[in-house]
Amino acid sequence: MSAISVPKIRLASGFDMPQVGFGLWKVPRDTAADTVYNAIKLGYRLFDGAYDYQNEKEAGEGIRRAIADGLVTREEIFITTKLWNNYHRREHVLEMAKKQNESWGLGYIDLYLMHFPVAQKYIDPSVLEFPAWWVDAERSAVALDKVPISETWKAMEEVVDLGIARSIGVSNFQAQLLYDVQSYARYPISALQIEHHPYLVQPQLILMAKENGIAITAYSSFGPQSFLELPEDFSSKAKAIGPLFESDVVKSLAEKYSKTPAQVLLRWATQRGIAVIPKSNSKERLLQNLDVTSFDLEDAEIACISALDCDLRFNDPGHYLVTSPLRIFA
Nearest to 168 by CA among 151, 184, 183, 186: 186
State yes or no: residue 171 binds ligand NAD (CB under 6 A). yes
Reported in sequence order, the residue ranges of the chain that DSSP labels E, i.e. its strands, are 8-10, 16-18, 21-23, 46-48, 78-83, 109-114, 165-171, 191-195, 215-219, 275-276
Binding residue for ligand NAD (CB under 6 A) from 43, 315, 316, 326?
315
State yes or no: residue 19 binds ligand NAD (CB under 6 A). no
Binding residue for ligand NAD (CB under 6 A) from 18, 23, 117, 188?
23
Name the residue whose CB lies closest to ligand NAD.
Answer: 23
Buried b or exposed e, range 56-67, using 16+ CB within 10 angstroms? bebbbbbbbebb
State yes or no: residue 25 binds ligand NAD (CB under 6 A). yes
Nearest approach in angstroms of CB 233 to ligand NAD is 16
Q: CA geometry: angle at 284 spanning 78 and 45, to 5°?
A: 10
- Is there a catalytic annotation at residue 53? yes
Binding residue for ligand NAD (CB under 6 A) from 222, 247, 253, 275?
222
Contact range with ligand NAD by CB under 6 A, out of 64-72, 86-94, 279-287, 299-307: 279-287
Binding residue for ligand NAD (CB under 6 A) from 85, 226, 247, 270?
226
State yes or no: residue 267 binds ligand NAD (CB under 6 A). no
CA dist 32 and 280 (Å) reads 12
Nearest to 82 by CA among 29, 38, 136, 118: 118
* Cα 59 to the center of its chain, rounded Å: 15
State yes or no: residue 221 binds ligand NAD (CB under 6 A). yes
Nearest to 40 by CA among 57, 21, 56: 21
Binding residue for ligand NAD (CB under 6 A) from 54, 103, 120, 193?
193
Binding pattern for the stretch 55-94 against ligand NAD, x by CB under 6 A and - elsewhere: ----------------------------------------
In DSSP terms, which residues pair with 22 in a beta bridge? Answer: 47
Q: With 0-12 CB in 10 A as exposed, 13-18 as middle and 19+ as buried, what is 198? A: buried
* Cα 275 to the center of its chain, rounded Å: 10
Size of the site for ligand NAD (CB under 6 A): 24
**Nearest residue (CB) to ligand NAD, 46 versus 304:** 46
State yes or no: residue 288 binds ligand NAD (CB under 6 A). yes
Contact range with ligand NAD by CB under 6 A, out of 7-15, 63-71, 217-225, 296-304: 217-225
Instruction: Please check whether residue 252 is in contact with residue 297, taking contact to mean a CB–CB distance below 8 angstroms.
Output: no
Options 53, 112, 187, 219, the catalytic residue = 53
Look up residue 230 and give its DSSP letter. Answer: S
**Contact residues for ligand NAD (CB under 6 A)?**
23-25, 48, 115, 171-172, 193, 219-222, 225-226, 260, 262, 277-280, 285, 288-289, 315
Q: What residues are labeled active site?
A: 53
